[in-house]
A and B are shown apart, each in its own frame.
Chain A
Amino acid sequence: MKKPPTGAPGPPRPVESIAFEHDGTAMSAGPGQCLAAVLIQAGISGWGIGVDGRRKGVLCGMGVCFECLVTVNDARNVRACVTFPSPGDRVVTQVDAREELPEK
């Protein structure tokens, strides 16, 4: 009989607190906390701005819907719900407003 797996699959989760910043504010992620969890715990539920100008945050919470996007260290479209912050990360609100098309 096969042994059951000993550890959970997936990427290794951080075991210590991690310091990073969100829109210039110092934040701290606890062990195993994803970005979305840290932001929600800090009272921030909408950390992106959609095309309609409204705040966006977690919808599916499992990496599928791409609604909770943030910009991390200048890389756009990072999913806050499946991303563990690294020390010193600069997380910035992502604005998805597109410019209007010129009439042609």
Chain B
Amino acid sequence: MPDVVVVGAGMVGAACAYHCARAGLSVAVVDRAGVAGGTTGSGEGNILTSDKEEGPEFELGLYSRRQWLALADELDGRTFELERKGGLAVSLDEAMALDLFRTAASQQIQGIVAQVVSGRELKSLEPHLTPNVSGAVYYPEDLQVNPMQAAARLVRGARDLGAEVWLGVDVVGFIRSPAGDGPVRGVRTNAPDCPEIYGDWVINSAGPWAGSLSSLAGADLPIEPRRGVILVAERLPAVVHRKVYGADYRDTVISGGAGVVSSPVIEATKSGTVLIGSTRERVGFDQVIDASLLDHLARAATRYFPVLEDCSAIRYYAGFRPYSPDNLPMIGPDPRVPGLVQACGHEGSGIGLSAGTGAIVADLILGQPTGIEAAPFRPERFEEGR
């Protein structure tokens, strides 16, 4: 019988499974679709420290980045396209440039490498960037991975350590003992060949669906889907070198409004296609997008990279980020339901924060001290003080 049942084989579930398996726990992974079938497959693969500033998410970001580099050593980062490409925050506007520099100064104090760049240095970092830049800060520590390959690599890593992997299997309920409101002892599924998967711990890494999964166990989690749309431009020979963000990217991510917010994030993938983001909308799980959104993304990208005007967009994709009301993920055993461990609510930072989340979850399950303070992420915090 597994010690741990991980529900959700996205990036966060894959990292939890791998860290638990490596710590010596026996693991089962279950996903109703496949590996990286949800949010993980519809993002960009960011591992960023540039978009954070002080506080628990910042600490988790730094810790998780270190965990990612360790994973890249252990499992050969080239197999999931880990690139130390660096990020470049760019402002085309004087006022916003000042804000950019202020943020950089505060990040430097926290130990992040943030270099104000201009002129020839900026040109060598990003030769095709518009000359109309009011200010730019380079973050050499920002990384990128191919999130689908990374999730697959970690699931395979867990399986190599003995984990069972059940794909195409939907979790429909929890096994509790004593029945009713006793501790969780596993999950019930819709699959005839594994109707019940037992485990002392069930990890909820169901991304934007984590709230519905948790409510099957009677523990509410205020997670909502937030849609992000990414436009993909045709393969180009090395036009965009770094991750290039508009100076307002951070505000987009942390804003909670229901309307569309958008801010340019432009980067090339290993295969040469260019990903153009980013948008955030709270529209439930609706996949149908307004075409004007694509127009808006394309126009914004060409303001930063005029050379993109002559290239074609080849597709777009929309995905759902698990939005948490206080912009912090929920990580750790949920005291409301003994045996249930939450690992969800990472919004658009799930790839970057996954490796650290997996390490913390494994430590908490084993009763070991965690690498960073985990209390700010306690899943029951939304019910406190009610």
Chain A residues with CB under 8 Å of chain B are: 50-51, 64, 66, 69, 76-77, 96, 98-99, 101, 103-104
Known: A66-B234, A77-B234, A99-B238. A104 touches B86 (CB 8 A): yes
**Measured between alpha carbons, how far is A64 from B316 in the docked complex, in Å?**
11
Known: A96-B235, A101-B85. A77 touches B312 (CB 8 A): yes
**Measured between alpha carbons, how far is A96 from B237 in the docked complex, in Å?**
7
Across the interface, do A104 and B271 meet the contact criterion of CB distance under 8 Å?
A: no
Give 30 pairs: A residue, B residue, CB < 8 Å, sorted on A.
Answer: A51-B270, A51-B271, A51-B272, A64-B315, A66-B234, A66-B235, A66-B273, A66-B314, A69-B235, A76-B235, A76-B237, A77-B234, A77-B235, A77-B312, A96-B235, A96-B237, A96-B271, A96-B272, A98-B237, A98-B238, A98-B268, A98-B270, A98-B272, A99-B238, A101-B85, A101-B241, A103-B84, A104-B86, A104-B138, A104-B140
Residue of B nearest to A95 (CB): B237
Q: CB-CB < 8 A to A66: which residues of B? A: 234-235, 273, 314-315
Q: CB-CB < 8 A to A69: which residues of B? A: 235
Q: CB-CB < 8 A to B241: which residues of A? A: 101
Distance (whole angstroms) from the CB of A90 to the closest CB of chain B: 19
Distance (whole angstroms) from the CB of A66 to the closest CB of chain B: 5
CB interface residues, B 23-49, toward A, < 8 Å: none
Distance (whole angstroms) from the CB of B11 to the closest CB of chain A: 22
CB interface residues, B 253-284, toward A, < 8 Å: 268, 270-273
Q: CB-CB < 8 A to B234: which residues of A? A: 66, 77
Q: CB-CB < 8 A to A76: which residues of B? A: 235, 237
**Measured between alpha carbons, how far is A103 from B272 in the docked complex, in Å?**
18
Known: A51-B270, A66-B314, A96-B271. A104 touches B235 (CB 8 A): no
Across the interface, do A101 and B272 meet the contact criterion of CB distance under 8 Å?
A: no
Q: CB-CB < 8 A to A77: which residues of B? A: 234-235, 312
Distance (whole angstroms) from the CB of A29 to the closest CB of chain B: 24
**Measured between alpha carbons, how far is A82 from B346 in the docked complex, in Å?**
41
Task: Mark interface residues in B237-248 (1 if CB within 8 Å of A CB, else 0).
Answer: 110010000000
Residue of B nearest to A69 (CB): B235
**Measured between alpha carbons, how far is A99 from B140 in the docked complex, in Å?**
18
Distance (whole angstroms) from the CB of B65 to the closest CB of chain A: 17
**Measured between alpha carbons, how far is A103 from B237 in the docked complex, in Å?**
18
**Measured between alpha carbons, how far is A99 from B83 in the docked complex, in Å?**
13
Task: Mark interface residues in B191-235 (1 if CB within 8 Å of A CB, else 0).
Answer: 000000000000000000000000000000000000000000011
Q: CB-CB < 8 A to A99: which residues of B? A: 238
Distance (whole angstroms) from the CB of B151 to the closest CB of chain A: 19
CB interface residues, B 310-352, toward A, < 8 Å: 312, 314-315
Q: CB-CB < 8 A to A104: which residues of B? A: 86, 125, 138, 140
Q: CB-CB < 8 A to A51: which residues of B? A: 270-272
**Measured between alpha carbons, how far is A50 from B312 in the docked complex, in Å?**
19
**Measured between alpha carbons, how far is A104 from B85 in the docked complex, in Å?**
9
**Measured between alpha carbons, how far is A98 from B315 in the docked complex, in Å?**
21
CB interface residues, B 75-113, toward A, < 8 Å: 83-86
Residue of A nearest to B271 (CB): A51
| Cross-chain contact of B83 among A50, A64, A96, A101 (Cβ < 8 A) | A101
Instruction: Among A64, A76, A98, A99, find the residue whose CB has the most chain B CB atoms closer than 10 A.
Output: A98
Residue of B nearest to A50 (CB): B271
Distance (whole angstroms) from the CB of B221 to the closest CB of chain A: 37
Given A51-B270, A98-B237: 8 more A-B contacts, CB < 8 Å: A66-B314, A69-B235, A77-B234, A96-B271, A96-B272, A98-B238, A99-B238, A103-B84
Q: CB-CB < 8 A to B84: which residues of A? A: 103
Distance (whole angstroms) from the CB of B317 to the closest CB of chain A: 13
Residue of A nearest to B241 (CB): A101
Distance (whole angstroms) from the CB of A97 to the closest CB of chain B: 9
Distance (whole angstroms) from the CB of A88 to the closest CB of chain B: 24
**Measured between alpha carbons, how far is A76 from B241 in the docked complex, in Å?**
20
Q: CB-CB < 8 A to B312: which residues of A? A: 77
Distance (whole angstroms) from the CB of B276 to the closest CB of chain A: 15
The 5 A-B pairs of least Cβ separation, nearest first, read A77-B234, A66-B314, A98-B238, A51-B271, A96-B272
**Measured between alpha carbons, how far is A64 from B234 in the docked complex, in Å?**
12
Q: CB-CB < 8 A to A64: which residues of B? A: 315
Q: CB-CB < 8 A to B314: which residues of A? A: 66
Distance (whole angstroms) from the CB of A26 to the closest CB of chain B: 28
